[in-house]
Amino acid sequence: MNPLVLIIFSVLIAVVVVGMVAALVISNRKAIKDRQMAVIMGKNAVPKGEKTKKDAQNKRRDEIARKLKETSSEEDDEEKKARLSDLLMQAGMDISVKQYFLFSFLFAVGITLVAKMLGQSGFVLLMVFITGFLGLPKWFVKRKIKKRQKKFLEEFSDALEAMVRLLRSGMPVSEAIAMAGKEFTGPVGEEMNRIYDAQKIGVTLPEAARDACRRMPLTEMQMFATGVSIQAQTGASLSEVLMNLSGVIRARFRLKRKIQALSQEAKSSAAIIGALPFLVGGGLFAVNPEYMDIMLNTMAGRLLLLLGAFWMACGIFVMKIMINFKI
């Protein structure tokens, strides 16, 4: 078969596979939202156009569903429009966006000079510079965000219980938050101190908690902000709200650990399968370099390597979707 025809055929198949994967992801998200709306609206709910004005219960359900849709769309827009300044804030890095780009540029120049000293071609130098300027720094920031969020979750429930004990002993809410910020180090202490500092300059507690959700965009932190806001509006006991929230957070944390343990086998299998072609190819090249010449020194071989890498990336992406459980 003509190599050009083979390449065109492979590209067409790749486009079809990518489209199928994208459609699967979109349909999965839509199904989840539809199930949420069905639960809120009730099993016997009817479409909006057929509802009667006399049924007050269905009206309330429809209003809650509409608000939830608006909130979900706003959250999706915020996730898509996540700014670099927010990412730096979530990572706990006290630097500006200009400083971030300056450090990224210096890092990219440094690794590009190292690659030039190793005698790499101009194309490789360009790819190294782009990766060092746009890829690796952002990967580092996101990795730091995950580590910070993980450490936050490990201590957040203990901090809530400490606040509950202080509130039950008669201490004001602001002082309980300040004491929690002093007793706990790391991300929990930092966020509690920031909430307390915001209160000292006149920001209300619900607004300070919502601002903390931007720095720590976790479901547990959103629960905390919601509980504080409900307490401020209804005057309910904040100690009971925080105690119930602490139990929910502990249960969610245990469930996440259990899911992580159960899915570890699939993750290990995906890592082994993904690394196997590179290990085998590297071993063959080390044992008999001439055996790999046809793949490395010919145009058809390089194109086949690129197609193989693309298909491997598609497979890893699909496996990641299958084993990525969100709670």
Q: Could you read off the pLDDT of 35-89 as tens digits, one per residue?
A: 655 544 444 444 445 445 455 555 555 554 554 455 445 445 444 445 888 888 8
Phi then psi for residue 326, to 5 deg, are -110, 135
- 327 in Cβ contact with 256 (< 8 Å): yes
Q: Is residue 211 part of a domain?
A: yes
Residue 231 and residue 272 in one domain: no
Average pLDDT over residues 148-176: 86
Q: Are residues 189 and 236 in the same domain?
A: yes
Give the chain's mean pLDDT. Answer: 77
- Averaged pLDDT, 128-152: 90
Q: Which CATH number goes with the domain that contains 231?
A: 1.20.81
Question: What mean pLDDT comes out for the span 156-184?
Answer: 86
Q: Are residues 193 and 227 in the same domain?
A: yes
Same domain (yes/no): 274, 305 = yes
Q: Is pLDDT of 110 > 80? A: yes
What distance in Å separates the CA atoms of residue 173 and residue 238, rounded to the nearest whole number?
A: 8
Q: Whole-angstrom Cα distance, residue 97 to residue 95?
A: 7
Residue 316: pLDDT over 90: no
Same domain (yes/no): 215, 283: no
Q: Which of 191, 216, 249 is the last residue of a domain?
A: 249
Highest-pLDDT range among 25-34, 75-84, 135-144, 303-312: 135-144
Instruction: Tell me what pLDDT residue 90 has.
Output: 86
pLDDT at 68: 46
Higher pLDDT, 149 or 44: 149
Chain segment 215-250, per-residue pLDDT in tens: 888 888 888 888 888 877 777 677 888 888 888 888
* Whether residue 156 sits in one domain with residue 213: yes
Q: Is 92 domain-assigned?
A: no
314 pLDDT higher than 50: yes
Q: How far, CA to CA in Å, does 131 sit from each of 81, 103, 104, 275?
A: 22, 14, 10, 21
pLDDT on residue 107: 93
Chain centroid, CA 104 distance in Å: 22
Task: Please state which of the ranges 211-220, 247-256, 293-302, 317-326 shows the lowest mean pLDDT.
Answer: 317-326
If asked whether residues 243 and 163 sit together in one domain, one would say: yes
What pLDDT does residue 260 have? Answer: 80
- pLDDT attached to residue 4: 58
Tell whether 196 and 237 lie within a shared domain.
yes
Residues 205 and 282 in one domain: no
- 57 within domain boundaries: no
- At residue 47, the pLDDT reads 47
In whole angstroms, what is the distance from residue 327 CA to residue 324 CA?
10
28 in a domain, yes or no?
no
Domain end call among 214, 249, 284: 249
Q: Summarize the confidence of residues 269-281 as an average pLDDT.
A: 83
Residue 16: predicted pLDDT: 64
Are 174 and 230 in the same domain? yes
241 is a domain residue: yes
Instruction: Choose one of 215, 249, 283: the last residue of a domain.
Output: 249
Average pLDDT over residues 197-205: 86
Residue 38 within any structural domain of the chain:
no
pTM score, two decimals? 0.62
Range 23-40 average pLDDT: 60
Residues 286 and 326 in one domain: yes
Q: 72 vs 130, which has greater pLDDT?
A: 130
Of residues 189 and 47, more confidence is placed in 189
pLDDT at 154: 84
Percent pLDDT > 70 in the chain is: 73
Q: Is residue 223 part of a domain?
A: yes
Q: Note the pLDDT of residue 3.
A: 56
For 252-281, what is the mean pLDDT?
82
**Could you tell me which of 77, 48, 49, 73 has the C-alpha nearest to residue 62?**
48
Q: Does residue 314 share a domain with residue 228? A: no
Question: What is the spatial distance between Cα 220 and Cα 246, in angstroms, rounded to a whole number?
Answer: 9
Please count the residues of the chain: 327
DSSP track, 301-318:
HHHHHHHHHHHHHHHHHH
pLDDT at 325: 67
Is residue 166 domain-resident? yes
pLDDT of residue 28: 63
Q: How far is CA 189 from the centre of its chain?
A: 22
Print the domain residue range for 311.
263-327
Domain count, the chain: 2
- Rounded CA gap, 176 and 86, in Å? 27
